[in-house]
Chain A
Amino acid sequence: MEITKNVQDNTATLFLAGRLDTMTAPELERELQDILPNAKDLVLDFEQLEYISSAGLRVLLSAQKIMSKQGRMRITHVNETIMEIFEVTGFVDILTIE
């Protein structure tokens, strides 16, 4: 998986590409650990993301919980496959998907 980030002050945008699964989720978790403490507005761009597993969902859940307290987190350009996963798992209810 490839992660490209664009951080300006307390606004951060992460572009994810590839698969977000058990193997790659820790990578995103490390990135978020760096960004989250100062972030007010976090955007995750899923345009290039192909798949997300339960491990990936867990990282999103953690980030969502933190961002709910200090600002907001948005997920953009979600494709059909991932949207279906969000729907099946009920994550559509807690995530802000644009």
Chain B
Amino acid sequence: MRKVLGITLGGLQKKTITLVLLMLLIMLAAFVGVSAYQNKMLIHVVGETRIDQQQAISQVSEETMHEMLEGALVTSTTLRANLEDSEFSEIINNVYMLQTMAQGLLESRNSFDPLQAAPPDPAIDGTPSAMVLCEEGVDYTQSEYLGIIAHMSSAMIAMQGNSDKIDACYIGLADGTDLCVDEKAANKFDENGTLIPFPVRERPWYTGAIEADGLYFTGIERDAFSKRLMVTCSIPVKLNGETVGVAGLDIVLASMADFARADTAQGSCAYVINDRAQVILGPEANGIFEVSDQASDLHCMGNDELSRFVDQALRESTGLKTITIGDKPYYMVGAPMPTIGWAVISVVDKEITEQPKHLMLSEYNKINDEASGKFSDGTARTRGTSLIILALVVIIGLCAALIAARRIVNPIEQMTKNIVRSSQTGELFKMEECYRTDDEIELLAEAFDDLSKKAKRYIGEITEITAEKERISTELSLATKIQAAMMPHIFPAFPERSEFDIYASMDPAKEVGGDFYDFFLVDEDHLCMVIADVSGKGIPAALFMMASKIILQSCAMLGQSPADILAKTNEAICSNNQEEMFVTVWLGILEISTGKLTAANAGHEYPVLKKASGSFELLKDKHGLVIGAMDGMRYKEYELQMEPGAKLFVYTDGVPEATNGDKELFGVERMLTALNGSPDTGPKKILENVRSAVDDFVKDAEQFDDITMLCMEYKGKDGR
């Protein structure tokens, strides 16, 4: 781990700092997230509230305007319809009056002299006057009724002068003459000063009245002379049931149009429509419907909504309706003019009624935007402050983490250093003041202190034990050597004796064994051979074996028979055998000169004998009890005659009881087979053969028991 400015890179310090940093970042992220969410929610709520409020303003404003308009407009329209109706009634009355006057004069024509009627006189232009107009080619002086009608001149002048709505009044006669009253004598002439002919019987008011056979209103027509737009109200004049002429009144539309003018300024305008749904009167400018002689009726605008509205207006008061013309919505109110069957329609551009709403909304939005702006500024300022505070928190947190980490790591570093030093120098790890942190580090240090002391003690103990083991091992190996040296171990054992050859071996399972063999010359002609097996193994067996061997040899050297030697030895051993150990012994004495073998067996394995020209065979000899078992035992001995070439093989139970990995015993049969593999070789080779057969059988299994063998070949007195 690298150190920079006293901070260890990596290790606990880095981990602690990383942890704190991570926690800080998570807190930061959570804070920013919550703030952003709150901000978003606030903006959302403000936005929604704004929309709700705008809708409320719109709705309230619209409803208020609607109610206000409905009240005002319906009343004013109805009022206007009634007003207009009465105006038109007056005109109608005037027309009826003309008709009555004309018919009255014509019926009593014989009572009057015809008056001389005159054509227009341009000199009196501007003053209302009666003038004669006639069709081309008609001589008005020949007219039968014109002179009579002329009596009406002053009445007609009065009528025309009394009403500012009546532009002209006239009586057209069926003979093509016409008595006309107006103040525009000059316009009856063309630019050349020629009187313009007047096609009386072709004019719409004339034909219309004839056709209607009663009161008739023309559509909007242009005056034949002034070319001004006007409507004519006409009615046939009859004499004795026959139509002789038509009385008419010109109503100048311009004269009635001022009623609409004032309203136009307030955003509403009124129209008068006739029973054919033609617009008769309307504002001169800014109107949605044109007033002209070309105007077709409102049904022809291709607007069903409007058509229905107009039809209703001609029938009854419609109330406030919203009608869309083009793409623009309009409030409309219609009211019928009952006398003449026409209607008044008031139209208000909906946009104008919505102006207050728009004003309120824009004011509201302005206030709202200002508030939003202030809120945004405030948020931005708060955000800045928050970021600075957060940065401070992170920096302070990191510093605190750094200090905390150092406080944690320092004692650990110190401890590590001391532990490494004590492991190198073998010094004891000592508890120091800097480990007194009152936490796990202190516990760790105490544990190390304890461990260090225990380790030192254990090392001491182990050293002692090892030394002790070493000593025992040395002693045991020395014992092994002593034991081995106690038995004849130099071969050939009797190089000067050619009569026999002897070989023996002892392989203890442990360092020292309980088996032993022995052979020695009792005298020049007697060879004593012993093989024995002490019960048990190891050092106790080895000690017992040493005692047994010495006692046996001592007894044998007294020159006694094998049975006596065993009995004596048994007595000696039993006299002081607290542990009740015993030893099996086979002892044989060969008379070298004769080959006579005398032997006794104290509980030992059967010897194996090979006759001069035979194979190795087990000799089931007589057995006595093992030596050391029971005091006062007697042993039986037996004799064998060994011919030159005969061999004796004795062994301990380690041979037949050698065990392989499958817990199988080597057994006497395998031993005999091994012996008979090459029975004619020397004793040394025979022992080697048996040993290798045992090894092949046992393989890697552990050797449990001592393996001891002795083989003697008798070669005869002279040797071979």
Contacts and interface: CB of A to CB of B under 8 A. Distances in A.
A94 B628 CA distance: 13
B57 interface: no
Contacts of B534: 54
B580 A62 contact: yes
B606 interface: yes
B580 A89 contact: no
Interface string B507-537: 0000000000000000000000000011111
A82 interface: no
B582 interface: yes
Given A88-B606, A90-B623, A90-B624, A61 B629 contact: yes
A89 B536 contact: no
A70 interface: no
Given A22-B537, A54-B536, A93 B606 contact: no
B605 A61 contact: no
A61 B631 CA distance: 12
Nearest to A88: B623
A88 B536 contact: no
A94 B603 contact: no
A58 B536 contact: yes
B543 interface: no
A57 interface: yes
A87 interface: yes
Contacts of B653: 54
Contact of A90 (B535, B537, B602): B602
A89 B626 contact: yes
A77 interface: no
B60 interface: no
Contact of B603 (A55, A62, A65, A90): A90
B630 A94 contact: yes
A55 B536 contact: yes
Given A58-B581, A62-B580, A90 B536 contact: no
Contact of A54 (B533, B623, B630, B633): B533
Among B584, B630, B653, max chain A CB count under 10 A is at B630
B406 interface: no
A55 B584 CA distance: 12
Contact of B623 (A22, A55, A89, A94): A89
B604 A88 contact: yes
Interface string A57-98: 110011001000000000000000000000111110110000
B138 to A, nearest CB: 168
A94 B465 CA distance: 45
A90 B633 CA distance: 11
B254 interface: no
Contacts of A54: 533-536, 582, 584, 653
Among B535, B584, B630, max chain A CB count under 10 A is at B535
A65 B625 CA distance: 14
Main secondary structure of the interface of B (DSSP, over half): loop
A54 B654 CA distance: 12
Interface string A2-37: 000000000000000000001000000000000000
Interface string B188-227: 0000000000000000000000000000000000000000
B580 A93 contact: no
Contacts of A62: 580
Interface string B531-548: 001111100000000000
A89 B635 CA distance: 12
Contacts of A90: 602-603, 623-626, 629
A36 B66 CA distance: 130
Interface string B488-509: 0000000000000000000000
A89 B603 contact: yes
Contacts of A93: 624-625, 633
Contact of B582 (A61, A87, A88): A61
Given A90-B602, A93-B624, A94-B625, A58 B580 contact: yes
Nearest to A90: B625
B242 to A, nearest CB: 163
B228 to A, nearest CB: 149
A87 B581 CA distance: 18
Contact of B584 (A22, A65, A89): A89
A41 to B, nearest CB: 21
B603 A61 contact: no
Interface string B598-624: 000011111000000000000000011
Contacts of B633: 93
B362 to A, nearest CB: 111
Contacts of A55: 535-536
B606 A89 contact: no
Among A61, A89, A91, max chain B CB count under 10 A is at A89
A88 B605 contact: yes
Contacts of A58: 535-536, 580-582
B580 A65 contact: yes
Nearest to B665: A51
A62 B653 CA distance: 22
Among A54, A55, A88, A93, max chain B CB count under 10 A is at A54
Contacts of A61: 580, 582, 629-630
Given A54-B536, A57-B535, A58-B581, 18 more contacts: A22-B537, A54-B582, A58-B535, A61-B580, A61-B582, A61-B630, A65-B580, A65-B630, A88-B606, A89-B603, A89-B623, A90-B625, A91-B625, A91-B626, A91-B629, A93-B625, A94-B629, A94-B630
20 contacts: A54-B584, A55-B535, A55-B536, A58-B536, A61-B580, A61-B630, A62-B580, A65-B580, A87-B623, A88-B603, A89-B623, A89-B626, A90-B603, A90-B624, A90-B626, A90-B629, A91-B603, A91-B626, A93-B625, A93-B633
